[in-house]
């Protein structure tokens, strides 16, 4: 039995970081299941219907936005909006002149 379809799908999933996103688990599992069916197809190859399902799953997998990386999360990319607001309007212990 060939494993070329499941290997290709898994490579695409890892490259886009979808393997680390619980929110994308359903489409990932669907694409993997269909890829396994493609690989398990008999000597005549996969049916036209299975090929259509595989192409559809690949298209859907490709259109899923990649999960945000840590670098683009608000905590890691810079001050949050509250800190920015407080600094702009000089609010907080830093600007009160007290010993807090």
Tell me, yes or no, whether 60 and 84 share the same domain. no
Write out pLDDT tens, residues 51-90. 999 999 999 988 888 776 654 454 545 557 777 777 777 8
* pLDDT for 71: 47
Tell me, yes or no, whether 56 and 25 share the same domain. yes
Tell me, yes or no, whether 35 and 55 share the same domain. yes
* pLDDT for 88: 79
Q: Looking at the predicted structure, is the pLDDT value of residue 8 above 80? A: yes
Tell me, yes or no, whether 50 and 79 share the same domain. no
What's the chain's average pLDDT?
Answer: 83
Tell me, yes or no, whether 60 and 87 share the same domain. no
Residue 34: give the domain boundaries.
Answer: 1-67
Instruction: Give 52 or 2, the one with higher predicted confidence.
Output: 52
Tell me, yes or no, whether 80 and 41 share the same domain. no
SS3 19: helix
* pLDDT for 78: 56
Q: What angle do CA 86, 92, 93 make, to 5 degrees?
A: 150
Tell me, yes or no, whether 7 and 37 share the same domain. yes
């Amino acid at each position: 039995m060939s494993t070329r379809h499941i290997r290709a799908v898994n490579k695409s999933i890892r490259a886009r970081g979808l393997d680390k996103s619980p929110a994308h688990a359903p489409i990932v599992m669907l694409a993997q299941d269909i890829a396994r069916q493609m690989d398990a197809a008999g000597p005549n190859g996969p049916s036209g219907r299975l090929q259509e399902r595989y192409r559809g799953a690949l298209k859907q997998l490709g259109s899923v936005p990649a999960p945000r990386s840590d670098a683009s999360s608000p905590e890691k990319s810079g001050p949050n909006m509250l800190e920015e607001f407080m600094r702009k309007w000089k609010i907080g212990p830093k600007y009160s002149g007290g010993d807090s």
